[in-house]
Amino acid sequence: MTTNKLFQDTVREMALGNGSKARELNSQIPDAARDSYVIYVAAMFTGVTAAHLGEDPNHESIRDFVNRTAYAYRKADPPFKPMTMEALIRVIYGEDHLLDEVSPEDQLRFELLAIRMIVHENQDIKARLDDYLADAETLAAQWQSEA
């Protein structure tokens, strides 16, 4: 399986709530590809979040999403951190400085939680999940070429 296909399959399984399959696939990602995977997840998070919340969401709509997600993950261990989720969302909309406040581990974890929540809430995104996964690959490649 190519690395990009493995990334897509891993995130697809997570997005659909198939955690054990996602963990199994995640364990197959080579250490050398881990950074690329993190960038891919960030690209997927960016794409589905922008599609779900729109081009210019107001603070209330972001807070609403964060609150729904916090409730959905209220028993998460480690605990869900609403401010972390809000910061990651606000980064998408131009507040890049907030990323400095989020550890790389939390960034990956909360992006995956958001992807799962969005796919659960938004049937249009769920129906076009493969398109979003492919778009994330394109965006991740663009980001990596700019770095």
* Token pair listed for 85: 């989720």
Using an 8 Å Cβ cutoff, are 26 and 131 in contact? no
pLDDT-derived band at 45, boundaries 50, 70, 90? very high
Residue 1 in this model has a pLDDT that exceeds 70: no
Residue 2 in this model has a pLDDT that exceeds 80: no
Residue 27 in this model has a pLDDT that exceeds 70: yes
DSSP string computed for the chain: --HHHHHHHHHHHHHTT-HHHHHHHHTTS-GGGHHHHHHHHHHHHHHHHHHHH-SS--HHHHHHHHHHHHHHTTT-SSPP-HHHHHHHHHHHTT-GGGGGGS-HHHHHHHHHHHHHHHHHH-HHHHHTHHHHHHHHHHHHHHHHHH-
Using an 8 Å Cβ cutoff, are 110 and 49 in contact? no
Please give the share of the chain, as a percent, with pLDDT higher than 70: 99
